[in-house]
Chains A and B, each alone.
Chain A
Amino acid sequence: MASAADVRSILSLPATSSPAAGPSHQPKKQSTVSTRKPEGISRELYSLIGSSAPALAAQLAKPRLKQKPNLGGGGKVKWEWRSFKNGARSDSLELGHWVKATDKPNADYQFAKYNVQPTVYEWSQDEYSRHLEDSEWTKEETDYLFKIAHEYDLRWYIIHDRYEYPNGPTREIEDLKDRYYSVCRKLVRNRTWAGDEASKSQLLLSFQYDKEKEILRRKYVASLASRTPEQIQEEEALYIEIKRLEQNERQFKRDRENLLRTIAGVDSGLPDIVEDDATLIVADPKKKKLKGMDLDIPQTPVLTAPVMKRPPTLNKNAVYDATHCIIRNDPPPTTPATKVAHTPAYLRSFKIPYPKAAIAHKVNALLTEIGVSHSRLVMPTQANCQHLESVIDAATNLVELKKVLDKVNQDVEVLKNRLELREDGGDGGSVADAMETDDRGETAEPEGENRRSQSVMSARSTRSRKHSRRSMSVSSVDTAVPASTRTVVKRQKRM
């Protein structure tokens, strides 16, 4: 059935222009019908990509106009010119305005509700003479005040501006306010109150007025406003200065903190320094000025070392402390409360005493002998720590005493042997022997004097145990050792 035209179209050859190709029109038409442009693709694009358009795009990109909002009604709104009466007016004035024809014709005027009248206080002559008498005010002037106050809806600046009572004294705004509120207060207080107490006291509170305070406040405002430009400038300059100093101080603090952390290590338990900037800013101008001058001195670490705030501990929480087993270590009051002298908080177990390294094993042996394990204190309370310390001290003393005793015993033995030798060998004394005797003579000196000299020496060297020990080891006086050791131990205990 394939015609020449079909063959041509298959081979995509141009159609012949001969009239014989008449039927070729039919398939062409068919193709246009079958491959109709899907919606959502522009004509130009479709002609480029043909029927291979993605089906999805056609669905997604379907252009659709935004739905028009339905603003109600939809149809025409009929408006009509109506005259209305305003409920807030006392006369019969009728004004006209355009309203929707659907609105209710006899509704109240919608703006009448904003006409709110404040309560007007009135009084009889009797009431006035009983409660409201005031030497400064006449009844007539009080009446006038209330009239004008009501007229201007308690806008006090306006009332004060328009207040012109003939032959009356000049009144300040505070006088007017004070009189008005005091009269209101008295009236509310002395009249029978229909409502509950709470609303009455609330009303009274709203009439509270402190004249003195208001006058003072106004003076402050006036003085603030009457500053000269120079004063304002100075104040501003001082403010900037103080800001700068604060910043410097903060920087300094930060640097020092970093330094301390670097030196003492991160775990040194340094507390964060209290930032007391707030107190600097709130200070009043005079104080600010003073501070600014103080801080103007070139900075040295000593000057600007932040003053740490000590917690106020003095017996304040004694009961609380007792119940919660809090023991406070007050720093010595004489030392400046600077960072340097500050003792940070620490775990008590960090400060469990240890025996001196040199004799540690002996002391440990002693302790184990009596059944004390110092390395693991189960409950390191303050009392326990103190006990342990004293035990270790005692043990150390014992060990050292024993050591000295051993040495002395040995010396005694040696000397005894030597004496025996001398007694055995006759009087042929050698130089060495003579020296020995000298030595002995020295050692044989009375105990008391020796001890005194030792105590002087030890006093010089009580700075540290180590130091005193070294000085002892330097001195060649063997017999003096026990005594000096004793004093040193004593001093340590006292420490």
Chain B
Amino acid sequence: MVNYGGDEVSALVIDIGSSSLRAGYAGDDTPKAIIPSPYGYIPPSALSGDGDATMNENGTSEVAGKAKSYFGHSGPSIWRANMEIGNPISDGLIADFGPIPALIRHALEDVMHCTASEHPILVTEPSWNTQANRERMAEIMFEEFQVPAFYIANTSVLNTFAAGKGSALVIDIGQSVASVVPVVDGFVLRKGLQFSSLPKLVHAHARHLLTTPNPVRPPAELYPYQLISSKQAVEPNAHPRYTLREDRLAGTTRSWREWYEAREVEEWVQTVAGVLDQGWNDQLLQHRQHKQYEFPTGYNAWFGPERFGVGEMYFHHTPQLAGNPDIPKHIPGLITDSLKACDPELRQVLISNVVLTGGGSLFSGLADRLGSELARSFPHFKIHAPGNPIERRYGGWLGGSILASLGTFHQLWISREEWQEHGKAIVGQRCK
């Protein structure tokens, strides 16, 4: 136990991302609770009508304010009349702190069945987090959850730790933000911090690809299973034959529709899309397999070169896109800019410790492509990309789990006593 410097004090680690919230015990290798960040809520105005007594599934509903909110796996994904979908996270930051306590409470109490006031809690934050945000998080933890001790750690640093390194160039591709962060000796170099909403662009491109008419196949209609009452098997590229649940259509809100359409696109991307590992090459593309995908409507098609066009967006912008200054920077651009801002002596250290992480990096062939992109400008580099998808997706949580179970870390916790004594300022002083 002493040999590896571990000393577990049954701390909890909470890692909140754009797509999901991860919570678990420090010292574990996977989070115990992984729940989606988006949540469903029924505004009070709509609540007055037909009663929701029947929708009270296994305690996932919480009353936040007057609206009725639904969290967890049976939260947003279950159709409810007039249910809106909200996501407290935007661009990796917590934009709306309203539902955050309820979200955390759901993860800790309903999924993990533990009491927050008995455990020190380590929360993660993105590198571009604001001081006000982290102070607010500390306040929630101390005032609402009554935790004995609290710490807020940077996801990039935690990803570095999860890879077993002290210094690294962390390339984190999430659901809404892709970031390149240089970490040296466990500290983020703020001058080299680069991030862009590139995944959103990729998503928009994929959606455009699916929904625009095409000479080969009709556009896909992104209805979810929840709204389809029956469907028939059809040939590939044929128009689907299905009937919608008319009774539900009326009660479907716009935000829920957007949420599920985005989810359908995402599912398609995760199943079908890929990256050419040696750069765009039309000849090589002819030899790649086509992949079939079936949408909830029964519509199905084979996707060939276009599925690689989606991943290509991460590394290369078409000329008409590149001219636009508002377009988020692609990954090679982010890496170049990040390294440019670093000390020349550090560049070699960083480039030989590249850590690739985040769920968005699970595109097939993305790690190889990144390697071939880096090989163009750097003679020596090394990419650490865990093959285990759990490690890749929850690298930040894993690093937090490692950090919070270290014996030497326990002197860094912000205790209740310190919080009461120093107030919010202690967060900035302690968590550098």
A residues contacting B by CB (< 8 A) are 86, 88-89, 91-98, 109-112, 114-115, 151-152, 155, 157-158, 160-162, 173, 218, 221-222, 225, 229, 232
Question: Would A97 and B417 be within 8 Å (CB), given that A173-B343, A229-B376 are in contact?
Answer: no
Determine whether the beta carbon of A111 is less than 8 Å from that of B187. Answer: no
Contact A95 B413 (CB under 8 A): yes
Given A95-B120, A95-B148, the answer on whether A112 and B411 have CB atoms closer than 8 Å is: yes
Contact A162:B411 (CB < 8 A) given known A93-B148, A95-B148, A173-B343: no
Q: How far is the CA of A111 from the CA of B8 in the complex (A)?
A: 12
When each residue 126-147 of chain B gets 1 if its CB lies under 8 Å from chain A and 0 otherwise, what string results? 0000000000000000000000
Say yes or no for B267: interface residue by CB 8 A criterion. no
Name the residue in A110, A114, A115, A157 with the highest tally of chain B Cβ atoms < 10 Å from its Cβ: A157
Q: Which residues of A contact B149 (CB under 8 A)?
A: 93, 95
A92 touches B345 (CB 8 A): no
Inter-chain contact B190/A93, CB cutoff 8 Å? no
Would B377 and A229 count as touching, CB distance under 8 A?
A: yes
A55 to B348, CA, bound (A): 71
Contact of A161 among B189, B407, B421 (CB under 8 A): B189
Q: List 15 A-B contacts (CB under 8 A).
A: A89-B415, A92-B415, A93-B415, A95-B9, A95-B413, A97-B9, A98-B8, A109-B407, A110-B7, A111-B408, A158-B184, A158-B189, A218-B344, A225-B344, A232-B379
Q: Known pairs A97-B8, A111-B7, A218-B344; list 7 more (Cβ under 8 Å).
A: A93-B148, A93-B413, A93-B417, A94-B148, A110-B407, A111-B5, A157-B185
Q: For residue B421, which residues in chain A have a CB less than 8 angstroms away from its CB?
A: 91
B417 interface neighbour in A92, A114, A115, A162, Cβ under 8 Å: A92
Residue B60 at the chain A interface, CB threshold 8 Å: no
Residue ID in chain B nearest A159 by CB atoms: B187
Q: Would you give the shortest CB distance from A185 to chain B, in whole angstroms?
A: 24
CA distance A166 to B119 in the complex (A): 40
Does B410 have its Cβ within 8 Å of any Cβ on chain A?
Answer: yes
Q: Return the CB mask of B224-260 against A: 1 if under 8 Å, else 0.
A: 0000000000000000000000000000000000000
Query: How many residues of B are counted as interface, with CB atoms below 8 angstroms from the partner's CB atoms?
Result: 36
Q: A-B pairs with the 10 shortest C-beta distances?
A: A111-B407, A93-B415, A88-B411, A222-B344, A95-B9, A158-B187, A161-B189, A91-B417, A111-B408, A221-B344
Query: In the complex the two chains form, is A86's CB within 8 Å of B347's CB?
Result: no
User: Is B53 interfacial (CB-CB < 8 Å)?
Assistant: no
Task: Give CA–CA (A452, B377) in the complex, Å.
Answer: 84
**Complex CA distance for A152 and B186, rounded to whole angstroms:** 11
Given contacts A95-B148, A162-B190, A229-B376, contact A157 B346 (CB under 8 A): yes
In the bound complex, residues from chain A placing their C-beta under 8 Å from that of B345 are: 218, 221
Question: Which one of B192, B346, B377, B407 has the greatest number of beta carbons of chain A within 10 Å?
Answer: B407
Residue of A92, A96, A161, A221 near B190 (CB, 8 A) is: A161
B408 touches A160 (CB 8 A): no
Contacts of B9 in A (CB 8 A): 95-97
Contact among B2, B343, B377, B417 with A157 in the assembled complex (CB-CB below 8 Å):
B343
- Tell me how far the C-beta of B169 lies from the nearest C-beta in chain A, rounded to whole angstroms: 13
Cβ of B418 < 8 Å from any Cβ of A?
yes
Q: Which residues of B in the span 386-430 have a Cβ within 8 Å of any Cβ on A?
A: 407-408, 410-411, 413, 415-418, 421
Whether the Cβ atoms of A155 and B407 lie closer than 8 Å is no
Residues of B within 8 A of A95 (CB): 9, 120, 148-149, 410, 413
Residues of A near B5 (CB, < 8 A) are 111
B153-164 CB contact bits vs A (8 Å, 1 = yes)? 000000000000
Closest chain-B Cβ to A232's Cβ sits at a distance in Å of 6
* From B2, B187, B190, B192, residue with most partner A Cβ within 10 Å: B187
> Residue A91 contacts which of B2, B10, B415 (CB distance < 8 angstroms)?
B415
* Alpha-carbon gap, A109 to B347, bound state (A): 39
A152-B421 Cα distance, complex, nearest whole Å: 23
Bound form: Cα–Cα A329–B248 in Å: 111
B187 touches A152 (CB 8 A): yes
Complex CA distance for A157 and B376, rounded to whole angstroms: 27
Q: Residue among A112, A115, A158 with the most chain B CB within 10 A?
A: A158
List the B residue with the shortest CB-CB distance to A88.
B411
Minimum distance in angstroms from B34 CB to a CB of chain A? 26
Interchain Cβ contacts within 8 Å, total number: 84
Please give the distance in Å from B249's CB to the nearest CB on chain A: 54
Interface positions of B from 178 to 207, Cβ below 8 Å from A: 184-185, 187, 189-192
Q: Within 8 Å CB of A94, what residues of B?
A: 148
A291 to B166, CA, bound (A): 43
Closest A residue to B8 using CB positions: A97
Which residues on the A side are within 8 Å of B7 (C-beta)? 97, 110-111
Instruction: Give Cα A375–Cα B311 distance, bound, in whole angstroms.
Output: 95
Q: How far is the CB of A228 from chain B (nearest CB, A)?
A: 10
Question: With a CB–CB cut-off of 8 A, which chain B residues contact A218?
Answer: 343-345
User: Given the complex of chains A and B, what is the CA–CA distance between A86 and B120 in angstroms?
Assistant: 14
The residues in B between 1 and 55 inclusive whose CB is less than 8 angstroms from any CB of A are: 2, 5, 7-10
Across the interface, B184 reaches (CB within 8 A) one of A97, A98, A111, A155, namely: A155
B185 touches A86 (CB 8 A): no
A residues near B418, Cβ cutoff 8 Å? 91, 93
**A352 to nearest B CB, angstroms?**
64
Confirm or deny: B113 has a beta carbon within 8 angstroms of a beta carbon on chain A.
no
| Complex CA–CA separation, A114 to B189 (angstroms) | 25
CB distance from A401 to the nearest CB of B (A): 82
Contact of B410 among A111, A158, A173 (CB under 8 A): A111
Chain A residue with minimal CB distance to B192?
Answer: A161
Chain B residue numbers with a CB within 8 Å of A112 are 411
Q: Are B344 and A115 in contact (CB-based, < 8 A)?
A: no
Most buried by B among A160, A161, A221: A161
Cβ contact within 8 Å between A114 and B187: no
Instruction: Decide: A114 and B408 in contact? CB cutoff 8 A.
Output: yes
CB distance from A84 to the nearest CB of B (A): 9
A151's partner among B376, B408, B432 (CB-CB below 8 A) is B432
* B410 & A152 in contact (Cβ 8 Å cutoff): no
Instruction: Enumerate chain A residues within 8 angstroms of B417, measured Cβ to Cβ.
Output: 91-93
Of B377, B411, B415, which is within 8 A of A115 by CB? B411
Contact A225 B10 (CB under 8 A): no
Cα separation A109 to B408 with both chains bound (whole Å): 10
Q: B191 to chain A: which residues have CB within 8 Å?
A: 161
On chain A, the residues within 8 Å of B344 by CB distance are 218, 221-222, 225
Complex contacts, B376 vs chain A, CB 8 Å = 229
List the B side residues contacting A92 at CB < 8 Å. Answer: 415, 417
Chain B residues with CB below 8 A from A88, complex form:
411
Alpha-carbon separation in the docked complex, A152 to B148 (Å): 26
Cβ distance A222 to chain B, nearest Cβ, rounded Å:
4
Contact of B343 among A86, A96, A111, A160 (CB under 8 A): A160
Task: Give the residue name and chain of the B residue nearest to A225 (CB).
Answer: B344
List chain A residues, Cβ under 8 A from B410: 86, 89, 95, 109, 111
Q: Which residue of A lies closest to B413 (CB)?
A: A93
Q: How far is the CB of A77 from chain B (nearest CB, A)?
A: 12
A152 to B189, CA, bound (A): 12
Q: How far is the CB of B402 from chain A (nearest CB, A)?
A: 15
Residues of chain A within 8 A (CB-CB) of B192 are 161
Distance (Å) between the CB of B348 and the closest chain A CB? 7
Please tell me which one of the listed residues A86, A93, A111, A152 contacts residue B432 in the complex, with CB atoms under 8 A apart: A152
Shortest distance between the CB of A198 and any CB in chain B (Å): 31
Query: Once bound together, how far apart are the Cα atoms of A92 and B419, in whole Å?
Result: 12
Closest A residue to B346 using CB positions:
A157
- How far is it, in angstroms, between the C-alpha of A157 and the C-alpha of B410 when the chains are bound? 25
